[in-house]
Structure 1
Amino acid sequence: MKIDDLPIRDELRGQSPYGAPQLDVPVQLNTNENPYQLPDELVARIAERVAEAARDLNRYPDRDAVQLRTELAAYLNRTNGLNGTAGTELDVRQVWAANGSNEIIQQLLQTFGGPGRSALGFEPSYQMHELISRGTGTRWIAGPRNADFTIDEAAAAAALAEHRPDVLFICSPNNPTGTAVAAETVLRLYDAAQAVKPTMVVVDEAYVEFSHQPSLLPLLAGRPLLVITRTMSKAFGAAGLRLGYLAADPAVVDAVQLVRLPYHLSSVTQATALACLEHTDTLLGYVRRLKEGRDEVVARLAALGLEVTASDANFIQFGVFQDPQAVWRALLDQGVLVRNNGVPGRLRVTAGTPEENEAFLAAVATVIKELSPV
């Protein structure tokens, strides 16, 4: 029996699951992971906290993850990028956590999307916005971008007026392009959305710690339908932890709890995340290294004659290639795995350690004649 022989929902027929190749090669730069392993002192602290949590594994975890949410709020207040702008101080009532930012997105769409409702995002962008929309029965609408992958504000406003979505996604920095969205643009899109109907505006800041631009957290003040989503997978180097969170008006936090599964965050997950939050200074030090390495890779790719999209994330989109899949294979043959996201003519590479970056650049130089920039 094949999958389409099953009585699955019509909108899932013919679709493919999200995922990137997991291949055993020397240099893996295709999934935007932080390449630095957690420091020994943090690993030891995780072991201590998990051991403490293990004593009570016969009991359910803290259903509301109050301590974790309190510490996440404290982290956001320390690092909001605008030095404590008035009205941006968050407390536990404004923060919610779940198993990765994908579960956060799912909970938001279960709450504010669903059958008979729609979500709009600007493509190319994070594919899970569309996939989770489909999975929750929310109609997906692809909005426009400019040729340089910035958001076309006039076209976006027209799309909002035409389609009247219930949820608007803005990804900043955007995945897969790395493009940041200016606060002024977000404000205009928020106002344009609300002018049509009450619309949840979700700003996905999964990569914001790598950005040259400050977080948009200060925009939450006075905007009860604005949500900022984050993750500990990237800047915290904890992709294996699966911890995502949001910041929003307390009413939004109350609303998503209507759809959360009981005791959705395990005691072990909460303990591990709390340990990581004790070491933010060290972990953000790795982020600074990655930003420096990213900027160097951008410059060196451009020096090779390639077109590079300005990046505010821990990855770089580059091209333009007549056959990006052939280029992807040529780099793989050199032992370097990058990502083909389907953006015409372009590939994406994650910023790695200095050694990984050098291996990638050497591989590009080796196959440069095959790359054939248009």
Structure 2
Amino acid sequence: MISDEIRALLREELRGLTAYGAPQLDVPVRLNTNENSYALPDTVARAVTEALRAEVADLNRYPDRDAVKLRADLAAYLGHGLGFEQLWAANGSNEVQQQLLQAFGGPGRTALGFVPAYSMHPLLCAGTATAWVDGGRAADFSISPEHVAEQIRRVDPDLVFLCSPNNPTGTALALDVVEAALRTARGIVIVDEAYAEFARPGTPSALSLLHAYPRLVVSRTMSKAFAFAGARVGYLAADESVVDAVQLVRLPYHLSSLTQAAARAALAHADTLLSTVEAIKEQRDRIVHVLRSRGYEVADSDANFVLFRAYPGGVAGDQAVVWRRLLDAGVLVRDVGLPGWLRVTAGTPAETEAFLEAMKSTEEN
């Protein structure tokens, strides 16, 4: 807890804020932070271990400050004709986005987002003294090209944040929404694609627009589909000039040699790691189908999680009550602060079954 004495010394815009975080509770089924429930396959774990062992003898030396080999591997993974010059990597996509705000935001500048969306975006803005404005969404959580353009004209932001698939709603954006932002905004447009690998067939990526829009940035992560959350590796794809600009604000040697080696070993086994994606999507779709069959309102999901109303049949109620009942049944989901809604990560078949059974028990209470 921050004391009154220290709070008085804080920057004014940080006073009263709560640090980002999700409950880390020791329960049988943890489905609250959108982690990949599958552990690293043994072959990948061995490869990562060997890669780390090879680096240990040289830990007296600084790492490659530009992470060129890792960026080249990431470019090869993404395709779309990208070269390493158009990739940048950091300690999770949060650091990537923080660096973008340090470079293009700051005092006297404004970022526009469309809430509900990733809750770290306004916190990153606060941390970089960038003003944050919420452009809002429709009642069904959608945003149209017209709405995006209207809000950009109203706010005239220096940066625009879009999430596709969106967190916490799970639904991906059509490219016409992204293009509306790019055509209307004068500044940087960031499309956060942390969950892109889980999207339903035919869902486009903003990567396909990079060649036409030098102010577009696509942010990705290895935390989700790659089951690499503990390694903290995020990255962006953008015009080479944007990557050069971000390097003005990065800390020296910000990405350790161990992190770079582990990430490269994982990327070398991308097919193996991504083999769990289809299994997770099956469980996601199972959750959507079963909950809807029981009368719950559920948002369409292109991610590895599902947003659903806590009570069936359109009944209004406190989602915290259902959250607590699920926790008492040994299942931890996420209360994202949307009145009446909860979010659950799609896990293994056994975890999904445990969640669905626990949900059934909440209806009986």
- Taking only the aligned residue pairs, the percentage that are identical comes to 58
CA distance in 2, matches of 1:248, 1:4: 43
Q: Deviations over 1:266-317 (max 9, x none)?
A: 0000010001001111111101110111101110011111100000000000
Matched ranges for 1:307-326 at <5 A: 307-321=297-311, 322-326=317-321
Unaligned 5+ segments in structure 2 are: 312-316
CA distance in 2, matches of 1:156, 1:40: 45
Give 2:50's aligned residue.
48
CA distance in 2, matches of 1:276, 1:261: 24
Q: Is the 8 A contact 1:106 1:136 kept in 2?
A: yes
Cα RMSD for the two superposed structures: 1.1
Q: Is the 8 A contact 1:118 1:138 kept in 2?
A: yes
Q: Is the 8 A contact 2:113 2:162 kept in 1?
A: yes
- The alpha carbon displacement at 1:155 in A equals 2.9
Matched AA of 2:255: L
- The alpha carbon displacement at 1:156 in A equals 2.5
Range that drifts further, 173-182 or 183-192: 183-192
CA distance in 2, matches of 1:182, 1:305: 28
Q: Is the 8 A contact 1:208 1:214 kept in 2?
A: no
CA distance in 2, matches of 1:147, 1:154: 16
SS of match in other structure, 1:34: coil
Matched ranges for 1:290-309 at <5 A: 290-309=280-299
CA distance in 2, matches of 1:42, 1:275: 8
Give 1:286's aligned residue.
276
CA distance in 2, matches of 1:3, 1:120: 32
- The alpha carbon displacement at 1:366 in A equals 1.0
CA distance in 1, matches of 2:4, 2:223: 33
SS of match in other structure, 2:124: helix
Give 1:105's aligned residue.
97
Distance change in 2, residues 1:205/1:255 (3 Å): same
Q: TM-score, normalised by structure 1?
A: 0.94
Give 2:82's aligned residue.
90
Are 2:199 and 1:211 equivalent residues in the alignment?
Answer: yes
Matched ranges for 1:75-86 at <5 A: 75-77=77-79
CA distance in 2, matches of 1:73, 1:155: 33
Residue 70 of structure 2, aligned match among 68, 74, 98: 68
* Number of residue pairs the alignment of both structures matches: 356
Are 2:333 and 1:338 equivalent residues in the alignment?
Answer: yes
SS of match in other structure, 1:151: coil
SS of match in other structure, 1:367: helix
- The alpha carbon displacement at 1:369 in A equals 3.6
- The alpha carbon displacement at 1:3 in A equals 3.4
CA distance in 2, matches of 1:171, 1:19: 19
- The alpha carbon displacement at 1:192 in A equals 1.6
Unaligned 5+ segments in structure 1 are: 78-87
SS of match in other structure, 2:132: strand
CA distance in 2, matches of 1:294, 1:320: 17
